[in-house]
Structure 1
């Protein structure tokens, strides 16, 4: 592991700007290590926004607004990892039917967007009872 940072915010979409700015600051601080284009970092920031928004709107929809969401950024020599921890009921993303091109479907688009923005996306229940959305982008670092 080269660099790591952690942020805890409450369950409120008003914190989305803070989350994205924190991500951008992390990337700026470690820019000499990142050989990715601005486009790749934008895609990761979009994936982070989608994951955070899903935690607020879906996982924590019936929980008090004081419920926290933890986010970890970890920079390795061969990848960038984002972990978003929520306290909601777990769900099985594999049970979501992928939308057919040209058709409309209610819900589920966020999961497919995440999978297209990142190289690896995993959602699983941790031993501590929290859910973890892991978003991974592989790439070369200096």
Structure 2
């Protein structure tokens, strides 16, 4: 199975419902393991929220966030393209407290994504764009 979907939304956490609704179409036919589907949704929303709250923090609401999801026979790949400043994902992961030691309300997104995803990268596309790449096996 190869299925690919695209969406473009503004930099707005209020678009979370739209993003989740759009994402539902990748789950046809439904994944047999509901836990994996929940993990996929978690990856998508944590990734989207991180782009809105961090990468696009000082950018206008109209700044687009592009999302692409590809469902293959054994994997789901999520790509979220952003604008803004680059950061070193691996360094951030090393400096964040472990999930079991982090009782803060915010600041756990990267660790959550890292614990769920088979692959997690934040790659430069050009001087102003980056791609958050998430891959999960099902």
Q: Which category of TM-score, normalised to the shorter sequence, fits these structures?
A: 0.7 to 0.9
In 2, are the aligned partners of 1:11 and 1:67 still within 8 Å (CA)?
yes
Is residue 22 of structure 2 the alignment partner of residue 26 of structure 1? no
Which sections of structure 2, spanning at least 5 residues, go unmatched?
none
SS in 2 for 1:45: helix
For normalisation by structure 1, the TM-score amounts to 0.85
2:119 maps to 120
Which sections of structure 1, spanning at least 5 residues, go unmatched?
none
For normalisation by structure 2, the TM-score amounts to 0.87
CA distance in structure 1 between the aligned counterparts of 2:29 and 2:105, rounded to whole angstroms = 38
Runs of 4+ in structure 1 off by over 3 angstroms are: 100-108
1:1-142 superposed matches below 5 A: 2-27=2-27, 30-31=28-29, 34=31, 36-96=32-92, 97-100=95-98, 101-102=100-101, 108-127=107-126, 129-139=128-138
Q: How many residues align?
A: 135
Query: How far off its partner does 1:105 sit?
Result: 6.9
Query: How far off its partner does 1:102 sit?
Result: 3.4
In 2, are the aligned partners of 1:55 and 1:86 still within 8 Å (CA)?
yes
SS in 2 for 1:114: helix
In 1, are the aligned partners of 2:85 and 2:128 still within 8 Å (CA)?
no
Shifted more, 119-128 versus 83-92: the winner is: 119-128
CA distance in structure 2 between the aligned counterparts of 1:91 and 1:106, rounded to whole angstroms = 22
